Amino acid sequence: MILFPYVRLELLRLLRDPGYLIMTLVTPLTMYLVFTNLDLGGGAGRDGAVYSMVGMAGFGAIGAVMTNGVSIAEDKPLGWIRQLRLLPLAPSQAVVGRATCAMVAALPPIVAVCAAGALVDDVSLSPGRWVAVFLLLWLGISPLAVLGVGFGYLLTAQKAQMAGLVFYMGLSMLGGLWFPVAKMPSWLARVARVTPVNRYGELSWKVAGGQAPTLVGVLVLAAWAAAFAAFSVIAYRRAARTL
């Protein structure tokens, strides 16, 4: 099946980017250590450490998938999409392939921040909860990975970088990854709860606290996933027609 060799090739190309390590690994790990030492984010104590751990792991994962979008945009002038058109890849397969690469690239920041939570701040969860938190942080990033792919296919490298940065920083703050939505004004909190980033983080915050993710949260995230998937397929087809 051609999809798997394609994913492997794209992943190798993405991980050669030196900016990936700084943006997606060093930054969220540093911020996690700062937030927990200064009692920022979710507050002091174990609950604050768990909240910040999930938030900064998700923050790093979002950075990884947005970096993938910039990489796609940089490839377009080099004729990479024209080469892909010679392969028996449907637009949906091309989007899935690049989104899969982004999800693999999101693993290091998730692992690093969770390890810091366990080793530095003594975050203690049952083995089952650790597995669930990790899987939800990883699998839950898939809608945002698809969005990053769409940015890459639709925009120039500079515009994709700007869009990714706005999404990465702005929606991470608005979505509650840096500090709880409960600390926001009520009108802003209502806006935050319909963002994909907030519902993404909520999956792991709930599980870490011993609760099941809410059905509303899952449905909101699923709706965003469907919208991002349609956007990315359209963006790929447009890029393929114009290049």
The encoded tokens of residue 220 equal 């909101």
Q: What is the pLDDT of residue 25?
A: 80
- Asked if residue 151 lies in contact with residue 163, where contact means CB atoms within 8 angstroms, the answer is yes
The encoded tokens of residue 49 equal 């450490």
> Is it the case that residue 7 has pLDDT exceeding 70?
no
Residue 16 DSSP SS3: coil
**pLDDT digit string, tens, across residues 224-238:** 999 999 999 899 888
- Asked if residue 201 lies in contact with residue 175, where contact means CB atoms within 8 angstroms, the answer is yes
- pLDDT tier at 37, thresholds 50, 70, 90: confident
Q: What is the pLDDT of residue 86?
A: 63
- Asked if residue 230 lies in contact with residue 145, where contact means CB atoms within 8 angstroms, the answer is no
**pLDDT digit string, tens, across residues 87-145:** 666 777 778 888 888 888 888 899 999 999 999 888 889 999 999 999 999 999 999 99
**Confidence (pTM):** 0.87
